[in-house]
Structure 1
Amino acid sequence: MNQILSLVDRAAFAAGFTDRLRRAGLAVGQSDAAVFGRALGAVDRGVLSDRQKLYWLTRIALVRKHSDLATFDAVFNAVFNDAVFSLDPAALRATSTGPRGEQSLAVPGPHAADDPDTEGLPWATLPRMAAGADSADDEDGTPVWIPRPSAIDSIARIPFDQLDSRQLELIDSWLDDATQRWPRRRSRRERVIGSGRRIDLRHTLVRARHTGWEIADVAYRGPVWRQRRIAMVCDVSQSMQAYTTVYLHAMRVLSRRGRAETFAFATRLTRMTSILARSSIDDAVESASEKVVDRFGGTRIAASLDALLHSPHGQTLRGTICVIASDGWDSGEPEVMERVMSRIARRAFTVIWLNPRAGVPGYAPLVGGMAAALPYCDRLLPAGTVDDLPAVIAAIAEARRR
């Protein structure tokens, strides 16, 4: 029986089992059910094949009071003593009657939801559904636990140019949550920490004053970690029109999240940090679009990057994670791009290039500007759909020097 359990939908089993406990009178909260579901997903099949291990896993996750043990044991025994499992498909669709007239928890068949007398755990199929919203059986009906994709997963493969305003707000909210893990750098400063490796003599002697100058509590020093600066430079030329709005949302999240500098360029460079830091998404994007007067014009990637290096903000690239979002179509000479990118690579901590066309099957960086810049990039990542964004966030959070 337990071997069959190791092959079924664990989330459905967790939902059905906790519902059975609630109907037996055991107070099981949503957080307890969530913990039980995560526990089932974290263990291997060996635990699910051992009834004793499964009992303790379930008991630790769902039982909070000693007085609830009797109810829990009764439900657990009713589930696993009376359950009928077989490799016979006909037996999988059948139900059986256990002792004392109670129905056993066999695997429900495909029409179990339509049978009002069918009870039990949802193993590979759904539990029975209430007859309707106005039915008197709704209060006693078993809830239907239907796994649904998250809202962000539903638009994962939609191209950026096909997203509406509601979906863009959803991406903005998702990016805000995904950037909680900000890259860090080790500062030259040190402070007293418990996990330090160097003895702090001064603080050790201060502590010794309370123990008669006997060194009983040794203080250690360790490094101070600070947020690493991110500089994102976005191409807003005509060839990038389909992706610009989402990139502006990403730049806005970076500007509000931590130490970040954002720039946009087509034929000339425009600093966007102060504009995108506004609270309203629509106002920020609208103001950014108005300030970039050369939006959807030609493309001068190398000239714009060179202007950034020679601007007052050029020093912000030192030790930063430089993110360049562009398709690489440059109207300038490849030699200029190579010279500019070599300077950026020496000044920045790491260089990540986001190319929306890199996710197309058969793509090769053969364009003159992209081919000249590629040797100086640490990562070349696709960024044409929402499905590509998690890899971008992970690359920024786990950036390493080449």
Structure 2
Amino acid sequence: MTSAGPLLPAVDRAAFAVAFAARLRERGVAVGLTATQDFVRALVAVPPLSRTALYWAARVTLVRRQPDLPRFDEVFDAVFGEALLSVDPHARRGGDRPAPHGGDARTQAPVDPYDVSDATGDRRGLPWVTLPPVVAQRDHRDDVALSVPDRLPSDLAGALDTPFEQLGAMEAQLLGRWLERALREWPTRRSRRYAVRPGGPRVAIRETAARARRTGWDPVHLVRTGPVARPRRVVVLCDVSRSMQAQAMAYLHLMRALALTTHAEVFAFATSLTRLTTALAHRSAQEALDEATERVADRFGGTRIAHCLSTLLGSHHGGTVRGAVVLIGSDGWDGDPPERLAVAMARLRRRAHTVIWLNPRAGVPGFVPRTTTMAAALPYVDLLLPADSFGALLRVPGEVARHARRS
């Protein structure tokens, strides 16, 4: 996932760019954070297939002043001593430099990029394998541990559309954090409160009179107000049965993201219903997921969707569904009769504003809901969306907003 191309196999682009920029700063080249970010984006947009391409990508993005070119060439030549493109300005105009020892550059054996030494013979290592600076100074005592800063993967965009069952625990945790930051926009509703807003339908008498004091009590400027938009309440019900074992942890990340950003009510269900709103609202993501996992005692078992929906609607939490956007994350396998699920979905549809069914199987090309459970629930569902990857979960708010505008 972090490979930058055949030239830099299995290389973290961010770590490589930061280390190379630090090497340039040591030689007096002014490299800022924006230039480093541009270098990373250049490596992502056009992965370098040769050292010549890497040289020009680094030079165009990292060097901003003409006097810094000689020092940049020195650093690049020290790191890539056997680069096909010489650091001699005349060689850059004339082509590739001759191969060492009088041989042909095109017939030379490939050089190991990790075996580089400078002119003095000091083996310094390439930037992507150079160890980060140690934060804590080492003491002579044996019980003092070194603290080394963590370096996380820089490219998570490629894992957005990866199915949940193919993601590791670390990737799922990082994408869960990304999901918490990305789900900031959600459909809103018109509240009864009014606030000052240009072009509003009402005239604010008090604010208009206060402004008229400056113009001899003549209301030259009318202050208008409009209704305040409030985020619509969200209720999430996620299936954690055995058939949803691969998607259960990702759906817990979705419930935590919605609980933190939209003040949603979240529930997990298998054979019974479990409220997880307070557990997933914990500041620590790992502790929140651990506590939620402990609370769900019937996970990875059977499924009773109709029974769990009836339990929610009959409890004191059933009022939270009124006027809310209800997300049901399940593959549709249910142990209850389809007639009972149809009755529960009809009750839910009368209370909720929008009912959305997130099905991980819906992302498969040619998907058709053939199970009796999904056939009984679909007449009461506004949107059936695929939810087999984190990228699909990120597209849910946009689909809900477009549906709200259409209706």
Give TM-score scaled by structure 1 length. Answer: 0.66
Moved more, 366-375 or 186-195: 186-195
Equivalent position to 1:31, from 17, 31, 34: 34
Equivalent position to 1:297, from 294, 297, 301: 301
| Amino acid corresponding to residue 159 of structure 1 in structure 2 | P
| Amino acid corresponding to residue 332 of structure 1 in structure 2 | D
Equivalent position to 1:202, from 195, 202, 206: 206
Equivalent position to 1:355, from 353, 356, 359: 359
Deviation at 1:223, TM superposition (A): 1.6
Do the aligned partners of residues 216 and 378 (structure 1) sit closer, same or farther apart at CA in structure 2, a change above 3 Å counting?
A: same
Alignment partner, residue 252 of structure 1: 256
- Cα separation, 2, equivalents of 1:349 and 1:254: 17
Equivalent position to 1:155, from 133, 153, 159: 159
Alignment partner, residue 334 of structure 1: 338
Aligned pairs, number:
326
Alignment partner, residue 229 of structure 2: 225
CA deviations 1:229-275 (Å, max 9, x no partner) are 11110111111111111111111121122220001111111111011
* Equivalent residues in 2 for 1:3-402, closer than 5 Å: 29-31=32-34, 103=90, 132=116, 134=118, 150-396=154-400, 398-400=402-404, 402=407
Q: Does the Cα contact within 8 Å between 2:203 and 2:222 map onto a contact in 1? A: yes
Aligned sequence identity (%): 45
Which ranges of structure 1 fall in alignment gaps of 5 or more residues?
Answer: 1-14, 39-57, 76-94, 96-100, 116-128
CA deviations 1:280-318 (Å, max 9, x no partner) are 223222222222222122111111112111111111112
Q: Does the Cα contact within 8 Å between 1:183 and 1:398 map onto a contact in 2? A: no
SS in structure 2 of the partner of residue 251 of structure 1: helix
Q: Does the Cα contact within 8 Å between 2:235 and 2:265 map onto a contact in 1? A: yes
Deviation at 1:31, TM superposition (A): 3.0
Do the aligned partners of residues 333 and 136 (structure 1) sit closer, same or farther apart at CA in structure 2, a change above 3 Å counting?
A: farther
What do you get for the CA RMSD once the two structures are aligned? 4.5
Q: Does the Cα contact within 8 Å between 1:152 and 1:174 map onto a contact in 2? A: no
Q: Does the Cα contact within 8 Å between 2:187 and 2:397 map onto a contact in 1? A: no
- Cα separation, 2, equivalents of 1:186 and 1:137: 71
Q: Does the Cα contact within 8 Å between 1:327 and 1:356 map onto a contact in 2? A: yes
Which ranges of structure 2 fall in alignment gaps of 5 or more residues?
Answer: 1-16, 42-59, 70-84, 101-112, 129-152
Deviation at 1:105, TM superposition (A): 7.2
Q: Does the Cα contact within 8 Å between 1:156 and 1:387 map onto a contact in 2? A: yes
- Cα separation, 2, equivalents of 1:35 and 1:199: 49
Q: Does the Cα contact within 8 Å between 1:183 and 1:396 map onto a contact in 2? A: yes
SS in structure 2 of the partner of residue 256 of structure 1: helix
- Cα separation, 2, equivalents of 1:244 and 1:196: 45
Deviation at 1:156, TM superposition (A): 3.4
SS in structure 2 of the partner of residue 331 of structure 1: coil
SS in structure 1 of the partner of residue 303 of structure 2: coil
Do the aligned partners of residues 133 and 243 (structure 1) sit closer, same or farther apart at CA in structure 2, a change above 3 Å counting?
A: farther
SS in structure 2 of the partner of residue 188 of structure 1: strand
Q: Does the Cα contact within 8 Å between 2:179 and 2:394 map onto a contact in 1? A: no
| Amino acid corresponding to residue 361 of structure 2 in structure 1 | R
- Cα separation, 2, equivalents of 1:189 and 1:222: 8
SS in structure 1 of the partner of residue 395 of structure 2: helix
- Cα separation, 2, equivalents of 1:133 and 1:196: 69
Q: Does the Cα contact within 8 Å between 2:254 and 2:393 map onto a contact in 1? A: no
- Cα separation, 2, equivalents of 1:213 and 1:363: 68
Do the aligned partners of residues 179 and 108 (structure 1) sit closer, same or farther apart at CA in structure 2, a change above 3 Å counting?
A: farther
Alignment partner, residue 121 of structure 1: none
Q: Does the Cα contact within 8 Å between 2:238 and 2:269 map onto a contact in 1? A: yes
Q: Does the Cα contact within 8 Å between 2:180 and 2:256 map onto a contact in 1? A: no
| Amino acid corresponding to residue 195 of structure 2 in structure 1 | R
SS in structure 1 of the partner of residue 195 of structure 2: strand
- Cα separation, 1, equivalents of 2:370 and 2:94: 57
SS in structure 2 of the partner of residue 218 of structure 1: coil
Give TM-score scaled by structure 2 length. Answer: 0.65
| Amino acid corresponding to residue 336 of structure 1 in structure 2 | R
Deviation at 1:384, TM superposition (A): 1.8
